[in-house]
Amino acid sequence: MTDTLPPAIAPSSVALRTVSRAGTGDWLLLVVTGAQLDPVIDQLAENMRAFGGQVSTTDASGRSIQEVIDSIAASAPGTVLLVHGLDGLTDEEWHHIDLLRSRLIGAGTIVLVVSLVTAGRISRSAPNLSSWIGGAMWTLDPGADSLSDAERNERLKALRRWSKLTDEEVVRRAEAGSLPDDPEYTEWLVLLDRADLVAPEIG
Amino acid sequence: MQRLALPASAKTLASDVRRCLLVAADEGVLRTPPESIFRLLKTEERTAERGTIVVAMLGGATFDKGQSEDAFFIRSDGARLSFGVAVAYQRGAEPELLTYRFHLRFARNGSPAFIRLDLNDESRDPLMEPRSHLHPGSDGLRLPVPVMTPLEILERLLYGTPTPQ
C-alpha cells in the first residue's frame, strides 16, 4: 500500500467483486475521499445486497481495539462485513491489531472503509494485515454508476440533434401532453430532472 | 398494460441487468469486457411527486449512428447493442415499466440491418401505434409485440437473435 490513491472503482463493481468472492478470510480496503460516509456505507450495502450478498455493517468509532477485533471475528464465513469508523486509530493501535491478527482468521469477507491517511497507517503499521488485503484496494467513486455531467450533456446533444427540439420545447410539450410517445423522450425528461413529467400516478 | 414481474428495488433491477451482461461476457456471448460493461451501464434516479422514484437505466449510446464501438455492448458476432429503460418505483405499489428501447444493429450488411424493441409512453392511442412494438430494420415499420421485462429482452437479444444470413 502507498500513500497515493488506489484505482477508482464504482459501487456496483466493488459490490460484485465482494459478493462473488465472499468466503473466508477475504479482506478488501476501500478509500473514501470527500464524501459523507453514512450514505456511502448505505450505498455499498444496498449494492451488495442487490447482488445477493449477506451484508452487515459496523461502526468502530470510539470502540476499543478489542471490541473492533471481536466484531470482525464474529462475522460469519460467507457474509460481508463493512467496517467503518477506523480513522481514529493510531499507528500503535494498528500495530496492536496486526499482532492479534490470528483472532481474525476465519472471519467472513471484511471490507475496511477508510480515509487515505488510514490506508497509509495500515500499510506502515499492520504489514501482515496489509498482505491479507494485497491488491484488493480501491478508491470508491460513489457517482461512477451514474452519468457524469459530460456524459449527460452528450446524451442531451444527441437527443436535440435527433428531434430538432430544444430542452424548453420538450418540457413545454410534455406539460401540454403533446410530446411524442417515443421512449427517447422519457430519457430526455429524466436527464432534465423532470421525472414529474414521466411518472404516472400509481395506485 | 399487463403488470410484469419487476425487481422490487431499483438497485436490484440494475444489478440484475448488470449481472446478465457480465454473465454474457463471461460466456463469450459479449466480447465487451466486464470493465466496459460497468462503464457503459449507467443508472439515473430522479424523485418525482409523492415520492415516486423514476429510474432510467442507460446502456450504451442513445442512438446508433455509426459511432465508435466503445459506445455499445458488442456481441461476439459484432452486433451492437444499446438500450434505455425507465421504471417508476413508488412506496406501496408495484414497480411500473414506463418505457424502453432496445436497439440491436447487426454487423454485416444483411437485412434487416437492425431491430429495435420499443415500449412507448402510454398516452398515445394504441390503435394508431402499438405501445409495444418491434422495428424490423425500419423506423417507419412497427410490428406489435408483447411487452417483456428488460431481462427477458436482453436474454433474447444476447442469446436468441442471431445475425441474419
Does B26 fall in a domain?
A: yes
Q: If 0-12 CB within 10 Å is exposed, 13-18 middle and 19+ buried, where does residue B56 land?
A: buried
Does B33 fall in a domain?
A: yes
CA distance B165 to B163: 6
Does B60 fall in a domain?
A: yes
How many domains would you assign to chain B?
A: 1
Q: If 0-12 CB within 10 Å is exposed, 13-18 middle and 19+ buried, where does residue B6 land?
A: buried
CA distance A179 to chain B (A): 10
pLDDT score recorded for residue A203: 43
Which CATH code for domain A8-140? 3.40.50.300
* Cβ–Cβ < 8 Å for A193, B47: no
A40-93 tens-digit pLDDT: 898 899 889 888 889 999 999 999 999 999 999 999 988 999 999 999 999 999
Chain A residue numbers touching B22 (CB-CB < 8 A)? 16
Does B151 fall in a domain?
A: yes
Confidence of residue B124 (pLDDT cuts 50, 70, 90): low
Contact B84 A187 (CB under 8 A): yes
Greatest mean pLDDT among A10-14, A169-173, B16-20, B138-142 lies in A169-173
Candidates A32, A85, A82, A38; CA nearest to A62 is: A85
Does B3 fall in a domain?
A: no
Does B71 fall in a domain?
A: yes
Domain that holds residue B63: 10-159
Confidence of residue B125 (pLDDT cuts 50, 70, 90): low
Contact A184 B84 (CB under 8 A): yes
**ipTM metric:** 0.93
Q: What is the mean pLDDT of residues B67-81?
A: 95
* Backbone angles phi and psi of B91, in degrees to 5: -55, 130
Q: If 0-12 CB within 10 Å is exposed, 13-18 middle and 19+ buried, where does residue B139 land?
A: exposed
CA distance B11 to A15: 11
Q: What is the mean pLDDT of residues B49-64?
A: 91
CA distance A165 to A62: 57
Contact B129 A181 (CB under 8 A): yes
Question: Which secondary structure element, helix H or strand E, spans residue B83, and what is its range?
Answer: strand B80-89
CA distance A176 to A198: 13
Q: What is the mean pLDDT of residues B104-126?
A: 86
Chain B residue numbers touching A146 (CB-CB < 8 A)? 42-45
Amino acid at B14: A
Parse chain A into domains and list their residue ranges: 8-140, 149-195
Does B1 fall in a domain?
A: no
Q: What is the mean pLDDT of residues A8-33?
A: 87
Mean pLDDT (chain A) is 91
